Structure 1
Amino acid sequence: MFDLNDTAMFVQVVRCGSFAEAARRLGLPPNTVSRRIQQLETQLGTRLMQRSTRKLTLTGAGKAFHERCAGAIDGLVEAGQELMTGSQEPNGLVRVATTADFFDFFPMEWIADFLAEHPRVRLDFVLGDAHADLIAEQIDVAFRSGLLTDSAYVGRQLLGIHSYGMVASSAYIAARGTPGTLQDLANHDCVTSAHPSGRTTWRLTGPDGLEEEVQVTGRFNGNTAQSLRKATQAGLGIALLPPAIAKLDVQAGLLVPVLPQYQRASKGLSVLYPSRRHLPSAVSAFIGLVLEKLSAVETLPEVFRLG
C-alpha cells in the first residue's frame, strides 16, 4: 500500500510546479521531496513526472493519478481544517481562469459581496482569451464557451445556447447604407476577430432555419468583445456582438440592428475544474456565485468569449 503522505506531497509538487517550491511550502529539503516522489513512483510501478532543469511535466499516468487523488487529498485537508476550526465556512485560495473581458460584465461589486460573505476565501484571477492549462497553471476553476472536449477535466454546462445578432452605429448606416441581403455584407466594412487571411467567414441562420455563410472583411480587427464593441460604436463597421452587449447598446441608441432576421448561435458557457471529487468548499461557493448571478441576468453569458 502506497503512503498517502507521499500522495499528498505529489499533489503539492504538481500545484507548485517544482520540487523546490513544494519543499519550501512543506518545510522540507528539496531532495527529500524528490526522493519521496520517486518512492511513490516505485510503489505505483510507473513514472508520474518527467523531470528537466526547466520544468516538471506530468506523464499520462501522472495526469490520471493527479485527477483521481487531488480532490481526495483536498477533502482530507479541508476536513481536518474544519474539525480544527469547528467551522464549515469556505476557506483558502481559489484561482479562476476566465476571459480578459470578465470584469467588464461581471461587476466587481459581486466579487466584493462574495468576499465579504466569505472572509476566509481569497480569489486569484487569471484573465486571457487563451485556454489555461488547469494543472500546469494551478487553476481551480475555469469558465469556457463551447463544447467541452478535454476529458482530462470535469465540466458541466452552466448556460445554454443563445444567438448573436449583427449591429452597426447609426453614423455607419447613414454613410454606407443598410445591407439588404446577407451577401451585401461583402461590400461593407465588418468588425471582426483577427484572421491571418484578412477575411472572416460568418455563418448565420436565416429566417427559414437554414445556415448561410458570407465572407466579410474590414479595416479593424480585435480579439476581445469590448474592442469590437467600441470599434462598432465608432462607426468602423458592422459587427456580430454578444446579445448582452448588443441589447444594451441598441436600447441606449448607440447601435442599431442589421439584418435582424439572421442570427448566429453562441457556444454557451461551461465551468471546468480539474478534480472529480471533493471539490473544495471555496471553489463550490464561487461556482455558486457565478451560477446565481448568470441565472439572474439572462443575457450575460454571451460575453464569455472563451472558446
Structure 2
Amino acid sequence: MIRLDDVQIFVQTVEAESFSEAARQLNIAPGLASSAVQRLEKELGVRLFTRSTRSMQLSEDGERYLPHARALLEAQQEGRRALAREDGALSGPLRLSVSSDFGRNLLLGWLDAFQHQHPALSLHVRMSDRAVDLVRQPLDAAIRYGTLSDSSLVAMSLLDTNRRAVCASPAYLAKHGTPTSIDDLRRHNCLRFLWSEQVHERWRFTLPTGDRTVAISGNRISDDADAVRRWAVAGEGIIYKSRLDVIDDLKAGRLVELFPHAHCEPAPLNLVCADRTRLTPVMTQLKAFLREKCEALAASHTPKLL
C-alpha cells in the first residue's frame, strides 16, 4: 500500500533537489527521507530517481509519476478542507505564477478583492517573466499571455480577444515624430523585451495586404515587462505590449496608441493549469472572477488613434 507520507517526501525531494534539504524542510532525519522514497519505489516497481555520488535527478518514470503524486496530495488536502468547512467557503493555499507587469499593476489589487471575499484562502504569488514548469514546481496555475505550445496543459481563457498595442508617450512623439506606418518603426527607438533568453525584436502585424513582420531595434532591453512599459511612459521609446497592460496608461494619457488595434498580434490571456486535477472550486471561481475583471477593463477604453 502506498503511504501518502512517502508521496509527500518524494514531492518535497523533487522540489528541494536533495534528500537532505527535503528532510530539513520536513524536520525529519535525512535517512528517513531516503527510506521513504525507496519504499515508494518498491511499491511502484520503478526507480523514481537516478542517483550517483555527485547528483540526483528524476528518472523518466519519476517525471511521469510526479503530476500524479501532486494530485494525490492535493486530493488529500481538498478532502480535509471539504470536511472542515460546512458552508462551502473556499480555503487553503492558492499558488500562482504571473508576469511582472500584469501582476504588479492589475492582478495584485484583484487578488486582494478575491481574498477578501474568501478570507480562508492563503495567497502564494510568484512574479516573473520567465517560463515556469507547472508539473515540477509547486504551483496551482500560471497566468500568461499567448497561445499554449504545450497541449498537455489546461488553459482557461480570461480574455481571448486581447491583442498587443504599439504605444509611445506624447513626449516621445513630440520629440521624434509619429510613425505613420509599421515600416516607420525601423527608424524609431523601440524598447525590447527579453523572454526566456530570447529578445522580442520581430513585431508581427496583420494588415489588409497580409501578414507582416517588422524587425525593430533600440537602445534598451529588459527581461522585466513592467520596466519596458515604464521606459515608454518616461518617453524613452516605443513599445509593443499587451493592450490590457497599458489600458490605464492610455486612459490617463501617459501613452498613445499608434496603429489600429486589429492590426496587432493576438495576445490572449489564460489561466493555465498542469492538468484537470487542478480544476478545484478555488480555480473555477478564480477564473470566473478574473475573467469578469479582464473583460470590464478591456471594455473601459475604446482605442483613440493618432
| Class of the TM-score when normalised by the shorter of the 2 chains | 0.7 to 0.9
In structure 2, stretches of 5+ residues that fail to align are: 301-306
The Cα shift of 1:266 comes to 2.7
The Cα shift of 1:47 comes to 1.1
Distance 2:212 2:261 in 1: 12
Counterpart amino acid of residue 134 in structure 1: L
Asked whether the 8 Å contact 1:94–1:140 carries over to 2, the reply is: yes
SS state at 2:174 partner: helix
Per the alignment, residue 30 of structure 2 pairs with: 30
Distance 2:72 2:194 in 1: 43
Asked whether the 8 Å contact 1:100–1:127 carries over to 2, the reply is: yes
**Pairing of 1:29-178 with structure 2 (within 5 A):** 29-51=29-51, 57-84=57-84, 86=86, 88-106=88-106, 108-151=108-151, 153-178=153-178
**Pairing of 1:246-257 with structure 2 (within 5 A):** 246-257=246-257
The C-alpha deviation readout for 1:234-257, integer Å capped at 9, x for no partner, is: 332332233235444344333333
The Cα shift of 1:233 comes to 3.0
The C-alpha deviation readout for 1:186-237, integer Å capped at 9, x for no partner, is: 222222225999993222122x151122222222333334333332233323
Distance 1:197 1:32 in 2: 43
Per the alignment, residue 192 of structure 2 pairs with: 192
The Cα shift of 1:264 comes to 1.9
Would the alpha carbon gap of residues 64 and 117 (structure 1) be closer, same or farther in structure 2, given more than 3 Å must change? same
Per the alignment, residue 267 of structure 1 pairs with: 267
Distance 2:299 2:57 in 1: 40
The Cα shift of 1:40 comes to 2.0
The Cα shift of 1:91 comes to 2.5
The Cα shift of 1:273 comes to 2.5
Distance 1:200 1:108 in 2: 29
Distance 1:132 1:225 in 2: 16
Would the alpha carbon gap of residues 127 and 52 (structure 1) be closer, same or farther in structure 2, given more than 3 Å must change? farther
The C-alpha deviation readout for 1:156-178, integer Å capped at 9, x for no partner, is: 43331432232223333333333
CA-atom RMSD in angstroms: 3.5
In structure 1, stretches of 5+ residues that fail to align are: 301-307
Distance 1:154 1:96 in 2: 15
Would the alpha carbon gap of residues 80 and 122 (structure 1) be closer, same or farther in structure 2, given more than 3 Å must change? closer
SS state at 2:277 partner: coil
SS state at 1:193 partner: strand
The Cα shift of 1:275 comes to 4.3
The Cα shift of 1:290 comes to 2.6
Asked whether the 8 Å contact 2:165–2:243 carries over to 1, the reply is: yes
The C-alpha deviation readout for 1:108-161, integer Å capped at 9, x for no partner, is: 443233223323221111111101223443222211222223356443433314
Distance 1:284 1:23 in 2: 34
SS state at 2:178 partner: coil
Tell me the TM-score normalised to structure 2 length. Answer: 0.79
Q: What is the total number of aligned residue pairs between the two structures? A: 299
Same amino acid, percent of matched pairs = 29
Asked whether the 8 Å contact 2:158–2:287 carries over to 1, the reply is: no
Would the alpha carbon gap of residues 60 and 156 (structure 1) be closer, same or farther in structure 2, given more than 3 Å must change? farther
Counterpart amino acid of residue 19 in structure 1: F
Would the alpha carbon gap of residues 40 and 111 (structure 1) be closer, same or farther in structure 2, given more than 3 Å must change? same
Counterpart amino acid of residue 186 in structure 2: A
Tell me the TM-score normalised to structure 1 length. Answer: 0.79
The Cα shift of 1:287 comes to 4.0
Would the alpha carbon gap of residues 249 and 215 (structure 1) be closer, same or farther in structure 2, given more than 3 Å must change? same
Distance 1:286 1:213 in 2: 36
Asked whether the 8 Å contact 2:158–2:290 carries over to 1, the reply is: no
Would the alpha carbon gap of residues 260 and 37 (structure 1) be closer, same or farther in structure 2, given more than 3 Å must change? same
Distance 2:177 2:228 in 1: 20
Per the alignment, residue 241 of structure 2 pairs with: 241
Q: Which moved more, 1:269-278 or 1:93-102?
A: 269-278
Distance 2:29 2:155 in 1: 37
